[in-house]
Amino acid sequence: MSKDHLRDIQSEPDYRKIPINKVGVKDITYPVVMLDRNRGKQHTVANVNMYVNLPHHFRGTHMSRFIEILNRHRDGIDTRKVKKILEDMKSELDAETAHFEIEFPFFMTKAAPVSGEEALMDYRCRLAASSDENFYEVEVNVPVLSLCPCSKEISSYGAHNQRSIMKIQVRAGYSRIVWIEDVIRVAESSGSSEIYSLLKREDEKYITEKSYENPVFVEDIVRNATELMMKIDGVLWFSVESENMESIHNHSAYAQICMDLK
């Protein structure tokens, strides 16, 4: 039987008159190519979510069309491509709104501060956009090291430190590129020290001493990052969060700053 004679149940009417805000496909593992400022493009693997709205008179949407659209754009995704993906989703699925989200590891080569040994560092990132908004959003999660100023002040020697996870979210218009590398640099400049994937003994000594000379509270971290984020062109809005996973307390310290630059 040809496909022209197959019954299209999804397009049949639904008489409950209840519209659906989001319907689509979720948690697709898919190879994608992202913009990389130094190398032009970077191949990575993403978890993808794609949704559209569904009017009350349709019983269902056509799930296969989401994959067809994604497949057409897998060789390169940037803000311009995201806008086109949203337009394709609306057109091919007869929808008024469309939503596109991807989470992926972004890799950068980092050299250790003294030995110069190079290794890849991964950062968990997210790109999201909706057709009913005039901006896209990038999220970057970056680990940094923080050393407690209070502990340093009251101790005869030494000070406790912790790994801090910074989450920076940025909104920008589709015509502007906010580079992931710039956001990572903001985060890594805001703590007591950067974190590396490969260190020799001379590097460990350097980082330990650098952190001791540069103590920061969680409040300092988000304020440091905010000052730097305000200098990045094209940013409409941003949020800076830091969660310091305390080494001597049974809790995490947390701070957030949100700022609208429009």
Give the sign of the dihedral formed by CA 213, CA 207, CA 106, CA 185: positive
Q: State pLDDT tens for residues 192-217.
A: 999 999 999 999 999 999 999 999 99
Give the confidence band of 1 by pLDDT, cuts at 50, 70, 90: very low
* Same-domain check for residues 64 and 160: no
pLDDT level of residue 78 (50, 70, 90 thresholds) = confident
pLDDT at 218: 95
User: What is the distance between the alpha carbons of residues 48 and 87, in angstroms, rounded to a whole number?
Assistant: 17
Residue pLDDT, tens place only, 161-173: 999 999 999 999 9
Domain ends where: 75, 104, 133?
A: 104
Min mean pLDDT across 47-56, 75-84, 85-94, 98-107 is at: 75-84
pLDDT of residue 12: 65
- Which of the listed residues 104, 139, 157 is the one where a domain comes to its end? 104
Same domain for 95 and 121, yes or no, is: no
- Residue 3's contacts (CB-CB under 8 Å, 6 or more residues apart) are none
Distance CA(180)–CA(215), nearest Å, equals 26
195: CB partners within 8 A, 6+ apart: 121, 143, 144, 145, 163, 188
What is the rounded distance in angstroms from the CA atom of residue 139 to the CA atom of residue 102?
Answer: 10
Section 79-86 average pLDDT: 88
| DSSP state string for 7-71 | --GGGSB-SS---EEEEEEEEEEEEEEEEETTTEEEEEEEEEEEEEEE-TTBS---HHHHHHHHH
**Does 100 share its domain with 199?**
no
CATH of the domain at 61: 3.10.270.10
In a domain, 1, yes or no: no
Q: What is the pLDDT of residues 27-77, one digit of tens each?
A: 999 999 998 998 899 999 999 999 999 876 667 678 889 999 999 987 888
Q: How confident is the model at residue 3 (pLDDT cuts 50, 70, 90)?
A: low
Bridging pattern class, strands 161-172 and 98-111 = unpaired
Q: For residue 41, what are the domain limits?
A: 8-104
Q: Are residues 217 and 235 in the same domain?
A: yes
Nearest to 88 by CA among 131, 49, 134: 131
For residues 45 and 50, give the distance between their C-alpha atoms in angstroms, rounded to a whole number. 16
Classify burial at 181, counting beta carbons within 10 Å of its beta carbon; exposed 0-12, middle 13-18, buried 19 or more: middle
The pLDDT tens digits for 103-150 are: 999 999 999 999 999 999 999 999 999 999 999 999 999 999 999 999
Mean pLDDT lowest for which of 2-6, 11-15, 24-28, 113-117?
A: 2-6
Residue 11 has pLDDT above 80, yes or no: no
pLDDT score, position 9: 62
Domain end point (choices 48, 81, 104)? 104
Residues 171 and 239 in one domain: yes
Query: Comparing C-alpha atoms, which of 198, 199, 218 is closest to residue 145?
Result: 218
Q: Are residues 129 and 253 in the same domain?
A: yes
Do the domain assignments include residue 2? no
Q: Does a structural domain hold residue 80?
A: yes
Work out the average pLDDT over 216-238.
96
Domains contained in the chain, number: 2
- Amino acid identity, residue 162? Q
- Do 196 and 96 share a domain, yes or no? no
pLDDT of amino acid 63: 87
